[in-house]
Each structure stands twice: as C-alpha cells, then as structure tokens.
C-alpha cells in the first residue's frame, strides 16, 4: 500500500506533466514544426465569393461558399497571395506575406465584377496663415469644396485618368494641377500648397517727418508723425487681381500685370470689403455714399492712410524721393536719373513712359521692398481731404499718432504721382485730391491691413 503522502505526490506530478505537454491533434504530431499557414477571406456585396482560385506561390486553394481560403504546410518564406477569377477583380490585387515562425491570418480581399469597381481620390490643401476652406476642387468632371482644414475627396470614380485642379479667386496653388491615374487602387495624399495672389509686406511702425516745407503749400508743415505697424501691398493692385475678385475689366491700358486703373475711391473700398469677406476676415468699411466709415481694428483689407502711405514710401529716407532729391526745380517735362530708376512718369520719352501705365515691379523697389510707390498710377488713400482745401497736415487738425485725416469731407487724397505726371509731382510728400466717384487712367490703389 502507498502512503497518503506518496499518492498525493504522484497525482501532483501527473498534473504538472499534463500542463507541460501542449494539446494537439494527430495531424499536429506528424506535421514538421517549421510549417505554417496563411488564411483569409474574400468578401463582396455584389458577386458570389465561392470557388475563387487563390494562389500563394505555386500553391492554389479554392474559396468555400463564404469566401474563406487557407493554405497549410507552408515553409518559411515570402509569398504573394493572388485571387484569380476571369470576370472579377479584387482590392487589393495582391498581398505580400512573410512566414517566419508564425501562422498568418486575415489576408482579406474585396471582389468586384470586372469593370464595375469604383475608386476614390483625396488630398489636402495647406497654406501658411491662409484660410484653406471653401476652395473649389475638380477632377475634370466632378466638383468638391474643401472643409475647414483643407481636405477634399472624390469617391465613386471608375478607372481612368483625372486631373485635379483647384480654384479660389484670391489664391494660387503649387502645383497648378495633379494628374491622378486610377488603375487598381485608391489615390490619397494628392496635396497642394495655397499661396495668396496678394503679396503683402509687414511694415514695422515708427516715427518720421511727414510732409515738406520746401514745396506746395498743402504739403506744409513738415511735422513728426508716429504710425503703428501695418501691412501694405508689395505692388500696386494689378488688373488680374482685380478681375479675379470683381470680375470686371475697367482699365484703359489692358494688361494683366498692369496696375488696375480707371477705378474710383468707392470701387477701391468695395474691392477691399469683398476680398476681406472672401478670406473670412472682418471687413474694414461700412460703405455709404455720403459717409463711409473705416474700422481700423478690423483684420480685413483697406486703403492705407496718408500717414501710412508716406511712411511706407519714404522707407526711412528724408529726401524728396526714396531715390534722392529733385535734381531740377524748373521746367515741365525733363528726365531725372534718380527718378528713372524707380518710377514711370511723364517725360515725353517714348522709350520709357510711353504715355501709359506699365506692368508692376519693373522699376527698383525702396528699402522696404515696395515697388512703384511713385509713378505708374497715383494711389487712392483713405483720408478725406480738408474741406477748406488748405493743408491736410495742419497739426491742430489731427492727432500725430496714427493720423487719419478729417472725419468727413467731399474728396479723398491720392499719393505717389502717375505715368501722366511731371517729375515735380512724383515725390514722397506730393498729394492731391479727387472726388471719390472720379475715375481716370492714371488712378489706382494698393491694399493694406492693420496688424494686431
């Protein structure tokens, strides 16, 4: 007889031995330990998935009535899994599987009737500081609009060649378009970068001497003015930019790269508001024929004040022009070398002025990187002109920190001179006034914005 202690010990030993030996069926006992399996399923909402041939290298299996397949007794290695059926196509076409110590499952496919499979194309538009929502996207046939984050997508597309293009009037894109050739898979990451067609320059605020004591009465007195930081257009607004936003062509001298001209002050502030709304900014103007007001705290586009314009034009200089002083004080039409480098003006030289506006940016910029601040077209500013037509610079008439002119008057100020003006009128301090409804082939504008 065994003792109770011996019996308990033997029972415990048998339990431990049973735990150490894995459960297996008879096939497991005879299968080499370096053989493995690959399994998966073919699904479809439109076609049958039984009896589809699936290959893995030289091996073939047939799907069951539910589309399941399985390869067993496969040695370690790399396999290409490919379903084949003459009237079907599959997503994906193939799967690459590596067997290395483990069985592999869930290698699944979707079956489609040949020629009926549909695909998608998607991507994103990004842009530094640019609102990328509501951009129109087309594949040449269909249209979509980007969401707030700039994503777009087309679905339900048959195989074929598509060209993805974007459109929003105030933007340009890199690249211009993206070819999308759909052959056997979805296309993602068809991405673009958005750029504003309006190049703006940040101007750091400061103090300078505005006006001049040496020229016209309405430029006096020269006095110290402080302006806050702001943005201003690198170029005068072009005809193409105007057309992209307004859809009209009012200019006399037609050229996409010429400054817009033949536009009134009312036209200019209307443009600013429309561009602001397009970019999701708060418009600067409440436009009224008799008393238009400007909210300088708004983040939308606006015309520069005279003080901002002259500060940006001078770019730290104290001379008559940012290229130097007037070289002659007499005569009506004559050439001035230091003016030729920076401006188109009326000198009756057909090789230079040609009695018309010219494409922007062809002359040298000032040290702030601004082009055509003098000549080409004279530019509308925000300021009303003093009602008595005396000096708008009268120190008692406006504050010397961000002065914005009279609160109301009949006319508005213009700056910079134009292709039509003689040299003595093409100076940093020179300004004139026009009725806000007046249009002329020598009058345009450039846009600006307040900075926080």
pLDDT of 28-74, one tens digit each? 434 456 899 999 999 998 899 999 999 999 999 999 999 999 999 99
What band does 253 get if pLDDT is binned at 50, 70 and 90? very high
> Could you tell me which of 412, 372, 384 has the C-alpha nearest to residue 265?
412
- pLDDT value of position 442: 94
Contacts of 129 (CB under 8 A, 6+ apart): none
CA distance 67 to 441: 75
Instruction: Please check whether residue 161 is in contact with residue 181, taking contact to mean a CB–CB distance below 8 angstroms.
Output: yes
pLDDT averaged over every residue in the chain: 88
DSSP labels for 402-446?
A: S----S--S-EEEES--TTS-GGG-SSS-EEEE-TT---TTEE--
Residue 13: strand, helix, or coil: helix
- Segment among 51-55, 116-120, 133-137, 282-286 with least mean pLDDT: 116-120
How far apart are the two ends of the chain, measured CA to CA in Å? 99
What band does 301 get if pLDDT is binned at 50, 70 and 90? very high
Fold match between domain 17-113 and domain 200-450? no
Q: Does the pLDDT at position 411 exceed 70?
A: yes
Characterize 183-199 residue by residue with b for buried, 16 or more Cβ atoms within 10 angstroms of its Cβ, and e for exposed.
eeeebeebbbebeeebe
For residues 319-347, give the mean pLDDT: 80
Task: Name which residue leads in pLDDT, 237 or 26.
Answer: 237
For residues 95-106, give the mean pLDDT: 95
Characterize 232-243 residue by residue with b for buried, 16 or more Cβ atoms within 10 angstroms of its Cβ, and e for exposed.
bbbbbbbbebbb
CA distance 269 to 246: 12
CA distance 85 to 67: 13
* CATH class given for the domain over 119-196: mainly beta
In this structure, what DSSP letter does residue 12 have? H
Backbone φ, ψ for residue 46 (5° rounding): -130, -20
Q: What percent of the chain shows pLDDT beyond 90?
A: 69
CA distance 167 to 152: 13
- pLDDT value of position 288: 87
User: Could you read off the pLDDT of 351-408 as tens digits, one per residue?
Assistant: 555 678 999 999 999 999 999 999 999 999 999 886 555 555 555 445 689 999 888 8
- Segment among 20-24, 63-67, 104-108 with least mean pLDDT: 20-24
For residues 260-283, give the mean pLDDT: 96
* CATH class given for the domain over 200-450: alpha beta
Contacts of 444 (CB under 8 A, 6+ apart): 236, 237, 259, 260, 261, 263, 357, 376, 377, 378, 379, 380
Does 2.60.40.10 match the CATH number of domain 17-113?
yes
For residues 287-293, give the mean pLDDT: 87
CA distance 112 to 48: 9
**Domain extents for the chain?**
17-113, 119-196, 200-450
- pLDDT value of position 334: 64
For the whole prediction, is pTM greater than 0.85? no
């Amino acid at each position: 007889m065994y003792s109770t202690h011996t019996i308990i010990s033997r029972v415990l030993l048998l339990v431990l031995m049973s735990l150490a030996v894995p459960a297996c069926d008879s096939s497991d006992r005879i299968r080499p330990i370096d053989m493995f399996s690959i399994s998966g399923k073919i699904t479809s909402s439109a076609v049958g998935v039984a009896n589809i041939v699936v290959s893995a290298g030289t091996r073939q299996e047939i799907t069951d009535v539910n589309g399941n397949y399985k390869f067993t007794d496969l040695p370690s290695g790399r396999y290409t899994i490919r379903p084949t059926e003459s009237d079907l196509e599959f997503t994906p076409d193939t799967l690459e599987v590596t067997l290395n110590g483990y069985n592999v499952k869930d290698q699944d496919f979707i079956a489609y009737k040949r020629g009926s499979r549909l695909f998608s194309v998607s991507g994103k538009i990004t842009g530094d500081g640019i609102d990328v929502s509501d951009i129109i996207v087309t594949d040449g046939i269909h249209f979509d609009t980007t969401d707030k984050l700039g994503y777009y997508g087309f679905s339900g597309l048959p195989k074929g060649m598509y060209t993805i293009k974007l459109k929003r009037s105030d933007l340009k894109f890199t690249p211009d378009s993206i070819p999308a050739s759909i052959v056997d898979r979805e296309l993602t990451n068809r991405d673009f970068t958005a750029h504003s067609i309006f190049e703006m320059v940040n101007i750091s605020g400061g103090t300078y001497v505005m006006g001049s004591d040496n020229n016209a009465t309405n430029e006096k007195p020269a006095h110290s003015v402080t302006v806050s930081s702001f943005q201003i257009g690198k170029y005068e607004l072009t005809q193409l930019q105007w057309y992209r936003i307004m859809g009209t062509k009012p200019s006399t001298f037609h050229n996409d790269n010429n400054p817009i001209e033949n536009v009134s002050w009312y036209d200019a502030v209307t443009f600013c508001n429309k561009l602001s709304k397009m970019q999701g900014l708060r418009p600067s103007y409440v436009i009224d024929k008799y008393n238009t007001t400007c909210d300088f705290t708004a983040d939308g586009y606006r015309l520069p004040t005279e003080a901002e314009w002259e500060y940006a034009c001078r770019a730290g200089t104290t001379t008559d022009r940012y290229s130097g002083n007037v070289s002659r004080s007499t005569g009506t039409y004559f050439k001035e070398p230091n003016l030729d480098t920076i401006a188109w003006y009326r000198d009756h030289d057909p090789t230079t002025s040609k009695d018309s506006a010219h494409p922007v940016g062809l002359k040298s910029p000032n040290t702030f990187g601004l082009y055509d601040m003098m000549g080409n077209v004279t530019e509308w500013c925000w300021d009303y002109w003093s009602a008595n037509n005396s000096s708008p610079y009268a120190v008692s008439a406006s504050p010397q920190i961000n002065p914005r002119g009279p609160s109301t008057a009949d006319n508005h100020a213009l700056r910079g001179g134009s292709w039509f003006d003689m040299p003595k009128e093409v100076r940093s301090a020179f300004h004139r006034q026009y009725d806000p409804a007046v249009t002329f082939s020598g009058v345009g504008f450039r846009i600006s914005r307040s900075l926080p």
